[in-house]
Amino acid sequence: APADADVAARTEPEMPVEEGEFSHEGQLGFVVRGETDVKDPSLGPTVGLSFGALSWLELSGLALIQRSTGARIAATVLVLPRSAMKPFVRLGVPMFFEGGTHAGIHGGAGLQWDMSRNLGLGVDLSVEHFSDLGLGSYTAAVVGFGAQARAF
C-alpha cells in the first residue's frame, strides 16, 4: 500500500499557482499617465519608466509634460504585490524647471489592476506640495490614471 501512495502522490496534478503570477519584481515598465490638479483642472500627460525592484517595491522616473515642464522620481509600495488588484502608496519628488528647478514632495495612494503580468491600469489620488515656485508655496490635489506595460 505505501508504494501505491507514492505513485498516487507523484501522479496527482498540481494545483495552479496564482500567487506570484502578477508580481512586478525584475520587470522594466513603460508608464503613460494623465494627471490633473483638482484646483486647476487641466489634463497633463506624464510618461516614463518603472522598475520592479522587489515584489512589493517599484521605482519610477516620469517626465511631466504639463503647463510647466518637469519630472518626478518616486517609490511605490504595492500592498498586495502578487495579486491582480494592487492597492498602493507612493512617495516621490516632483520637480518643475520653469525659472529654475523647484522640487516638492508627492504622496498618494491608489489601485492598480494588472490584467496580466505585462499590462496594468491604475488610478490614484495624490497631494503635491512645493514650498517655493517663485510665487510662494503651492499645494495640489492630483488625480491620476494611466497604463503600464512591463517586460521580462
Span 3-28, pLDDT tens digits: 555 555 555 544 343 445 899 999 99
Mean pLDDT across the chain: 87
Q: Residue 36 pairs with which residues in a beta bridge?
A: 143
Over 60: is that where the pLDDT of 85 sits? yes
Distance from the first to the final alpha carbon of the chain: 46
E strands in the chain: 28-37, 44-54, 57-65, 69-78, 85-96, 102-103, 105-116, 119-130, 138-151
Q: Which has the higher per-residue pLDDT, 17 or 55?
A: 55
Contacts of 91 (CB under 8 A, 6+ apart): 74, 75, 105, 106, 107
Q: What is the pLDDT of residue 15?
A: 39
18-22, 29-33, 55-59, 131-135: range with lowest mean pLDDT:
18-22
Over 80: is that where the pLDDT of 111 sits? yes
pLDDT in tens, 114-125: 999 999 999 999
Angle at Cα 36 formed by Cα 55 and Cα 54, nearest 5°?
5
